[in-house]
Amino acid sequence: MGNKLKVTVTIEEAIVREIDRASKEHGESRSRVIERAIQQWKERQLEKQLIEGYLAMAKEDAQTAEANLAAGVEVLT
């Protein structure tokens, strides 16, 4: 992992309490809990993009297959 930078953010009190609870539960610092949450969010975003891309490719592949099938039938008849 790269260099660490210190940042200041404003977060709702209830969320800070949840972060503190998770911190104690996992024996990690607040920073580590937040860092892991952001990493997981990034992974979900990438997964979402991949799913969307594969679905778009599947639709395009189906259209190509239908066109090729129609052309093949035309050649045979």
pLDDT for the residue numbered 13: 97
pLDDT for the residue numbered 77: 67
**Residue 75 in this model has a pLDDT that exceeds 80:** no
Q: Rounded to an integer, what distance in angstroms lies between the CA atom of residue 9 and that of residue 65?
A: 52
What is the average pLDDT value for the chain, to the nearest integer?
A: 89
pLDDT for the residue numbered 38: 96
Question: Where is pLDDT greater, at 54 or 76?
Answer: 54
pLDDT, one tens digit per residue, over 10-44 is 999 999 999 999 999 999 999 999 999 999 999 99
Question: Where is pLDDT greater, at 15 or 65?
Answer: 15
Buried b (16+ CB within 10 A) or exposed e, 17-36: eebeebbeeeeeeeeebbee
Residue 66 buriedness (CB in 10 A; 0-12 / 13-18 / 19+): exposed
Q: Are 35 and 46 in contact (CB under 8 A)?
A: no
